[in-house]
Structure formats: structure tokens, C-alpha cells
Amino acid sequence: MSQREGSLEDPKADSSVSLLPHLEAKIRQTHSLARLLTKYAEQLFQEYVTAAAAAAASTGVFQAKVLGFRVCGLYREWVSRTEGDLSQLVPGGPA
């Protein structure tokens, strides 16, 4: 093995090993930032809901409409699954 071959092999091995701690640190940092962003988004949404509720109280708008968007999605999913189950159990049931 020549000096040139040895010098080519070592940097590759060293660089791949030395990158692992750096990549792990970046992954941890990204995960931490994602959690922080989620926390801030939840706080911002809560502030919006609170402000919308205050505005709704003064204008008479139904407050649950703002809070119900997620519930409506879950309800639609539940109805779809239930109808699918019923169509298998009951002949001529909802399709």
C-alpha cells in the first residue's frame, strides 16, 4: 500500500466518524426547535381563540365554531368509519 492510498482511506474514515456527533447535535437542535415552535404555535392559537371568543361574545357569533374545526374533522372521520362498518354489517346500510 502506498502513502497515497493510506492517506485517501484515513480521511474518509475519520470524516465519517467525526460527522456523527455533529449530525446528532444538529438532530437534537432541530428536534428542540420543533418542540419550541409547536409550543409557540399552541400559545398563538390559544391567544387567537381567546380573542375570537371575546369578539364573538360582543357580536353574538357562536364561539364553538372556532373551537369546533378540529372536532368537525374528527367527527367526519368517525362517521366515515362507522358508515364503512355498518355497510359491512347491515345489508343495504349506508354506503
Containing structural domain, residue 67: 62-95
Amino acid (one-letter) located at 65? K
Judge if 54 and 68 occupy the same domain: no
Number of domains in the chain: 2
> For the whole prediction, is pTM greater than 0.75?
no
Judge if 76 and 32 occupy the same domain: no
Handedness of CA 73, 75, 76, 82 (dihedral sign): positive
The label of the residue with cell 485517501 reads 8
Judge if 54 and 89 occupy the same domain: no
Judge if 56 and 21 occupy the same domain: yes
Judge if 24 and 52 occupy the same domain: yes
Q: How many CA atoms lie within 13 A of 76 on its CB side?
A: 5
Predicted pLDDT of residue 4: 47
Predicted pLDDT of residue 63: 56
Judge if 2 and 18 occupy the same domain: yes
* Per-residue pLDDT reduced to its tens digit, 28-75: 888 888 888 988 888 888 888 888 777 766 666 555 565 666 677 777
